[in-house]
Chain A
């Protein structure tokens, strides 16, 4: 625009500028609020309110104080359950990572037809109900289940093994259920790495293995972290699978909380347990993020 037109017609210019400025910002404030309002309301009524009530309830029974929390600390049982919950969530995360990474990597690197097939295999479990998948594990692992039958028939064992209701069974079943949550973020990260980076590494003298360790793996780490975090958090609060496959001897926090609300109807204590689980989870997440943000190299990648 020339100088003369600016001087001759300042209002038009001003209008133009304003239009451009609001365009750059996107939507107006009112519109944005209207757009997010349903979500905020849903979060407020469906999540924050009941959870808040549960948490606060734990502080007012029988009267205001930390009685419920003291109860929690007094009994070693509850701490054992908390500790076991973290242990199992950790084991599930590690197992998912080691099984999931190669699958995710293959999904991103295989020729298109094979990649599509693998993706379907990964996603089908996600579309099936967790309940169904957990029962599938019971069918496999129970005393007269498929695995025991097979081993007996092969003559490798003489007595049925105790497979179900063990920690191992819980870890295995949870890993199976949560695996897609590990695979998908890693797949997304590997898929987003430009093909040229791998080629450049090879061209610059790296063999296939060192190209992987030095280029592909570091660049896929954001996906690995996202997958681990998601799997870990989901595992911490997992209810159905441990309840079905684990039995009473491998009780986890979620099952314990469920018992308090449905069987003993001790809502105050359930609130205290929930508070502890939530606090532990948040602490873990924050610590995790802190560690990552301290690592400068990943700031550039993520």
Chain B
């Protein structure tokens, strides 16, 4: 089986006068695993439904391979789909469910039997062929849904939050399972989720949606390290936000005042980008919890560049790490989260302790305030 590329060109979709998907263009490479990530109501399902043929766009074009499928009937698209609640046929056994797509394509009974047993083997459900869906666990139903969607060898597979009904442990197992099957068959996958962790671990690329628009498309690493907007920065991974005042720019570096006695410099501002900030303007400063080094404060009253002073508010144990909540002096914002590995020998902190947070210029991202921000 070979995956085929999907090309989505300037898709628009409105329900009544409500615009649900606007001007979305997206290319998915053959065999790629692309996640659509976005908050509830951002139009992910609607976009997927248009690829599957259950909704039609008001404008734009959708192609799979070289075929324009924008207005094709759903059964002629060769686009597989796994539904959120699996949508297994309750009056058919596992084997009958998996065989359904082949029966619709007049494959001979002998071939059907062979391919069904191969498929059931691939999703590791051998022995369950005669059961009815309601006699299966959530994870097993999920596997049946995947097997059924893939048996007719569609070049494209769509999945709409296929794991959201499962508990965390099973979800992680199924994530690996889905990746394994996808690697094996080489099918192109568009995977809808609003779980950013899931998107980060599974995807080749992630497309972040907000209010019907694509905000950023890129590799998980890209999105995590170089979020294009503060929305992406907030949505993907954990992020601390501070209010700052833009005070100085020189040689690709710029400086932001956080409080009376603290400034941070950033070298993440790209050429040309600094034009959108003016001196004295308000900016949002974003820092990842793991990019902060926390130390006990020994010298009083001493300020240096790129050090924030604060007080420990709480220490949260996560297992492999601690999250330390630090209230920054002179900032009304929520306490900053600092991630500290919880390996033996690492200093622990107690509530009320005064600390210094050291932040490298390479970890300080700036975003304009207001535009594109969620808050």
Contact = CB atoms under 8 A, between A and B. Distances in A.
Interface string B115-156: 000000000000000001010000000000000110010000
A199 B75 contact: no
Contacts of B91: 218-219, 297-298, 300-301
A205 B85 contact: no
Contacts of B104: 204-206, 210
A202 B78 CA distance: 11
Contacts of A33: none
Nearest to A197: B87
B81 interface: yes
A202 B77 CA distance: 10
Interface in B148-185: 148-149, 152
A199 B134 CA distance: 19
Contact of B87 (A199, A206, A210, A300): A199
Which of under 10, 10 to 19, 20 to 34, or 35 or more describes the interface residues of B? 20 to 34
Nearest to A301: B91
Contacts of A206: 75, 100, 104
Nearest to B158: A203
Contacts of A194: 85, 87
* Most chain A beta-carbon neighbours within 10 Å: one of B80, B83, B149: B83
Interface in B25-62: 52-54
A205 B101 contact: yes
Contact of B83 (A199, A218, A219, A297): A199
B71 interface: no
Nearest to A205: B104
Contacts of A63: none
B192 to A, nearest CB: 14
A153 to B, nearest CB: 48
Given A199-B87, A202-B73, 18 more contacts: A196-B83, A196-B85, A196-B87, A197-B87, A197-B89, A199-B74, A200-B81, A200-B83, A201-B89, A202-B54, A203-B81, A204-B148, A205-B75, A205-B105, A206-B104, A210-B104, A219-B89, A297-B92
25 contacts: A196-B83, A196-B85, A199-B52, A200-B87, A200-B89, A202-B53, A202-B73, A202-B75, A203-B52, A203-B53, A203-B79, A203-B149, A204-B75, A204-B100, A205-B104, A205-B105, A205-B152, A206-B75, A207-B73, A207-B75, A215-B89, A297-B92, A300-B90, A300-B91, A300-B134
Across chains A and B, which 9 residue pairs bring their CB atoms closest together, nearest first? Answer: A205-B104, A196-B87, A200-B87, A204-B101, A202-B74, A300-B132, A203-B81, A196-B83, A206-B104
